[in-house]
Amino acid sequence: MFKKILIANRGEIAIRVMKACREMGIESVAVYSTIDRDALHVRTADEAICIGEASPNESYLNIDAIIKAVKETGAEAVHPGYGFLAENYLFAQRCEKEGIVFIGPDSKALKLVGDKVASREVTEKEGITLIPGMKDKSTDVNECLSEAEKIGFPVLLKASAGGGGKGMRVVNSKGELKDAVEAGMREAQTAFGDPSVYLEKYIEKPRHVEFQILADNHGNAVHLFERECSIQRRHQKIIEESPSTALDDDLRRKMGETALKVVEVSGYTNAGTVEFLLDENGNYYFLEVNARLQVEHPVTEMVCGIDLVHAQIRIASGEKLWFSQGDLSQRGHAIECRVYAEDPESNFLPSAGKILYMKEPTGPGIRHDCGVYSGCVVSVYYDPILSKLITWALTREICCRRMAAALSDFPVLGIKTDIEFLHDVIVHPEFLKGNTFTNFIPVNMPDWKPVVDDEMLNRSLLSAAIYSDNVGKRTVVSGKSEEFPSPWSTLGDWEIGK
């Protein structure tokens, strides 16, 4: 087993990995940019090393600086977390060349699953179902027309250089296609410098269902069932859960087998995720492999009772998988809410600044994977995720209640967060019914506004009024003239946020 691991990341995921290291008796090394000097991941690590300026290209994305830090600290392995260099095969390749263990798949598998065209080809050859669509991208309107007729309307026009849903448009009939393709190509050229597009069968009201897998370097692989990630805002996941309300045992078994087949044909090892779109009739289509530990991995951990970071580290160190598919089952239900420093009242604009006060929810079945603390500064340089709140309970209903209660017991002052918004999604009747589709937010929460709690507002105004009326005035206490006391010194045992 490794003695020392460098974590090439920041925020909650760096801390999550450090906790696993500590539990396993492995020393952890944090890397940080100049603006992250006081960040929580630096304080949590056994050792920390500055790797450059705030801009990600000069620090967390700087391969040379990270390799140098590994050598200087004598770490044997690197955990990349998610984002930054996690899926960069050149980084994995560099580690391989330098004799450093990259905790993830090897660079060859990483390169294959990162190339969408190549991975579609490999998987389709094995009989894995993809969304019916064009084999190749195109810039020819007539070719698009004949392909669309073969696929059948409605079709979805995607920019071939786009990702994360950028540049997609639905085309309902032949008559609309020419204008749509021309507009789509112009948009793709402007946005990505590449006008080529392709067409797919449009899946209406799909769900995003993904399977967690673990594969060792000895040919053994298991899946740890599914996560449902359909609640998204502009292609950004915000709430995930496991099990999915859309699967029965039969579909779950079939999708799990497909996921394992994808892993096998890609030569993929370590932890990974196989993504599917699931339609309303229970047809599922392979989308892609995410070659990393995912943000939403905790819901799988809670339901399966497996620590995925421990597993990643043990697999990377060469261990054989120590359990088989038959040993795994789903117990209870878990939900994760992503806490972002974003202002839901201003179009979810990032909200930077100092966290003046924060109280983390705690209690039975509550887990908080957190990257910040009261008093720390949230900068504008990185992804605005602050933490993840995860609840577990035996049933989905109790799990939702637990999540709603935990979100209500989670004051964060100084910056704006999406906590209230998340709460209102969780208590929405459609969410409680399990009607979680990818269009949930636009359909069910179109013009969300926070509920103003009149009693809380009145109390705050009253306190402020009493205080401001007395500022600078003097009063007589025990015959002596004194400055009017501030509520901070007279209220006694109290807490902000209660």
Task: Please state the closest distance from residue 362 (CB atom) to ligand MV4, in A.
Answer: 32
Residues 428-447 that bind ligand MV4 (CB under 6 A): 438
Nearest to ligand MV4 of 57, 347 (CB atom): 347
Task: Please state the closest distance from residue 288 (CB atom) to ligand MV4, in A.
Answer: 7
- Residue 475, both tokens: 């009063």
Residues 187-226 that bind ligand MV4 (CB under 6 A): 200-203, 206, 208
SS3 content of the chain, % helix, strand, coil (to 5): 35, 25, 40
Strand partners, 83: none
Please pick, from the candidates 116, 150, 174, 235, the single residue that binds ligand MV4 as defined by CB under 6 A. 235
Nearest to ligand MV4 of 163, 363 (CB atom): 163
Nearest to ligand MV4 of 196, 325 (CB atom): 196
Closest CA to 309 of 43, 86, 77, 79: 79
CA torsion sign for 465, 467, 473, 476 is positive
- Total of residues contacting ligand MV4 (CB under 6 A): 15
> What's the rounded Cα separation, in Å, for the pair 171 and 156?
6
Q: SS in 3 state form for 203-261? A: CCCCEEEEEEEEECCCCCEEEEEEEEEEEEECCEEEEEEECCCCCCHHHHHHHHHHHHH
Residues 268-297 that bind ligand MV4 (CB under 6 A): 277, 287
Site string for ligand MV4, 160-179 (x = CB under 6 A): ----xx--------------
- Asked if residues 31 and 45 have their Cβ atoms less than 8 Å apart, the reply is no
Helix 174-192 vs helix 141-151: angle between axes, to the nearest 10 degrees?
Answer: 120
3-state secondary structure at position 32: strand
Task: Please state the closest distance from residue 207 (CB atom) to ligand MV4, in A.
Answer: 8
Catalytic residues: 292
Nearest to ligand MV4 of 33, 290 (CB atom): 290
Quote the Cα angle for 248-254-256, to 5°.
Answer: 95
Site string for ligand MV4, 128-167 (x = CB under 6 A): ---x------------------------x-------xx--
Task: Please state the closest distance from residue 293 (CB atom) to ligand MV4, in A.
Answer: 19
Instruction: For residue 416, state whether it binds ligand MV4 (rule: CB under 6 A).
Output: no
Nearest to ligand MV4 of 299, 311 (CB atom): 299
> What's the rounded Cα separation, in Å, for the pair 477 and 185?
78
> Site residues (CB under 6 A) for ligand MV4?
131, 156, 164-165, 200-203, 206, 208, 232, 235, 277, 287, 438
